């Protein structure tokens, strides 16, 4: 099974509302990253949080990391229709897992105008 | 910089045919990787490379070969295409090599993808 698992799988909200999605992982990590994918496009990096950080902000994005629970959350505040996309977490695990970034299954977010 | 480029954008193959998906980056990144994405799913790692001349298998390597003769290029070869290989393929590169404790942490840059259909 994948290292990162997102929850929920899909989310539908009204414009202006906040969107929260979670990611759980299994092994120790160096960092955790969040990516966005618009329909039919490649992934775009949003934010990276290191294992020794607990919270990070970037514009309307807020990411938290709880290494004791092996989980992270991504909050998008004041959502816009343009935020409609799939969001993926990716974990950079320690060397024992190999030199690879492992992606979760993603959360599909629909922001209705 | 062009970033990460992939060719072709679309490809239709018949079962048993072979082909090479091209990937190139102009950012002098050490780390390159190939993923496949099936409908409604996340990305699964096929192969990756930590530098020229060094490649390793990912999660789903069967049916695919890679080579890394230069820093810039990381082609993915399908040896004998099967319908199960119908997918969207993404190439990515990074200045950072994942898995290195205490190493710098950089984002992955993704190409636009190749949509492959095997009939």
Looking up tokens 């790692």, which residue turns up?
A: B45
Asked whether B103 and A30 are in contact (CB, 8 A), the reply is yes
Distance from CA of B106 to the nearest CA of A (A): 8
pLDDT tens for each residue of B25-46: 999 999 999 999 998 778 999 9
Contact A43 B48 (CB under 8 A): no
Contact B31 A45 (CB under 8 A): no
Q: Which of A6, A33, A35, A43 is the best residue to mutate to test the B interface, defined by the most B CB atoms within 10 Å of its own CB?
A: A43
Looking up tokens 């080579």, which residue turns up?
A: B67
Contact A102 B100 (CB under 8 A): no
> How would you write the pLDDT of chain A (113 residues) with one tens digit per residue?
346 688 899 999 999 999 999 999 988 888 899 999 999 889 999 999 999 999 999 999 999 999 999 999 999 999 999 999 999 999 887 655 567 788 888 999 999 99
Buried b (16+ CB within 10 A) or exposed e, B58-87: bbbbeebebbbeebbebbbebeebeeebbb
Report residue A83 as tokens.
């935020």
> 3-class DSSP state for residue A21?
strand
């Amino acid at each position: 099974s994948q290292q990162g698992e997102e929850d929920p799988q899909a989310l539908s909200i009204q414009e202006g509302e906040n969107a929260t999605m979670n990611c759980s992982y299994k092994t120790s990590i160096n960092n955790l990253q969040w990516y966005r994918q618009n329909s039919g496009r490649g992934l775009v990096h949003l934010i990276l949080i290191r294992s020794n950080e607990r919270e990070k902000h970037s514009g309307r994005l807020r990411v938290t990391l709880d290494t004791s629970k092996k989980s992270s959350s991504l909050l998008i505040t004041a959502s816009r229709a343009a935020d409609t996309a799939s969001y993926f977490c990716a974990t950079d695990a320690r060397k024992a897992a190999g030199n690879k970034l492992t992606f979760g299954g993603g959360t599909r977010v629909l922001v209705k105008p | 910089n062009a970033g990460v480029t992939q060719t072709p954008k679309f490809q239709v193959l018949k079962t048993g045919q072979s082909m090479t998906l091209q990937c190139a980056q102009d950012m002098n990144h050490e780390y390159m990787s190939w993923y496949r994405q099936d409908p409604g799913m996340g990305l699964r790692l096929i192969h990756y490379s930590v530098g020229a001349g060094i490649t390793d298998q990912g999660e789903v390597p069967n049916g695919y070969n890679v080579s890394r003769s230069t820093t810039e290029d990381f082609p993915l070869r399908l040896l004998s295409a099967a319908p199960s290989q119908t997918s969207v393929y993404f190439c990515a590169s990074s200045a950072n090599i994942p898995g290195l404790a205490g190493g710098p942490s950089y984002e992955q840059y993704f190409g636009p993808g190749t949509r492959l259909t095997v009939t």
